[in-house]
Amino acid sequence: MGAFATAAIVACTPETVEETPSLEVDKESVSLTAKFTVTAGELTKTVAVTQAAAEAQKPEPEPESAVTETIWEGEAYDLGTSWSGGLQINSVPILSEDAKIHVVYEAPAGFDYSQLKFCYIGQDWEWVQLTSPTGMNSDGCVTLDSNKTEYVLALNDEDIAAINAGKGMVIQGYGAVITKVSYK
């Protein structure tokens, strides 16, 4: 008899105790149910006790390197329609292997499309286009989805090295407003 039956015996000093345990297991949990029928004199009481275990497999916490760090956040930066300028970020931290740049944006109404172009700032302050963005057009731009609010750029090793050795990065664009830039 398990701990459940012992508790029932102490509570009512029964003449008979019948125990019917069951165990249910699925992918996410374990449930143990013990059903007891206790008879003491003229009183018969059936008690079902269920004890569910915590999830069988808890997710592991993300490694510290997966924590998002803000690179730039401030007053919304409107890229407008001129490709001559851009959001210049001179204080980019050293990026780790497999770094991803996250750009939070708005695609305002009134534009047929919204685009971003990513560059690193070289040692002589020149803007050099990154090669990582997937889906770039012939001008090196990526078209943003107007139904989303974040673009994630997975950097290749070459671009990570260039940003780490350079003086920062620049995000140019058309028809988009940048509200935050971070990396993971």
DSSP letters of 36-48?
EEEEETTEEEEEE
Backbone angles phi, psi at 10, to 5 degrees: -65, -35
Q: What percent of the chain has pLDDT over 90?
A: 61
Report whether 103 contacts 116 (CB < 8 A).
yes
Q: 65-183 has which CATH code?
A: 2.60.120
Confidence category of residue 62, pLDDT binned at 50, 70, 90: very low
Cβ-Cβ contacts under 8 Å for 107 (sequence gap 6 or more) = 114, 144, 145, 146, 175, 176, 177
Q: Count of residues for the chain?
A: 184
For 130-166, what is each residue's pLDDT tens digit?
999 999 999 999 999 999 999 999 999 999 999 999 9
pLDDT at 61 exceeding the cut of 70:
no
Please count the other Cβ atoms lying within 10 Å of the Cβ belonging to residue 40.
16
The domains of the chain are located at 3-52, 65-183
Q: Which of 136, 78, 87 is nearest to 111 (CA)?
A: 78
Name the token pair of 34: 């013990």
Report whether 96 contacts 68 (CB < 8 A).
no
Q: Which of 136, 74, 67, 58 is nearest to 100 (CA)?
A: 67
pLDDT at 109 exceeding the cut of 80:
yes
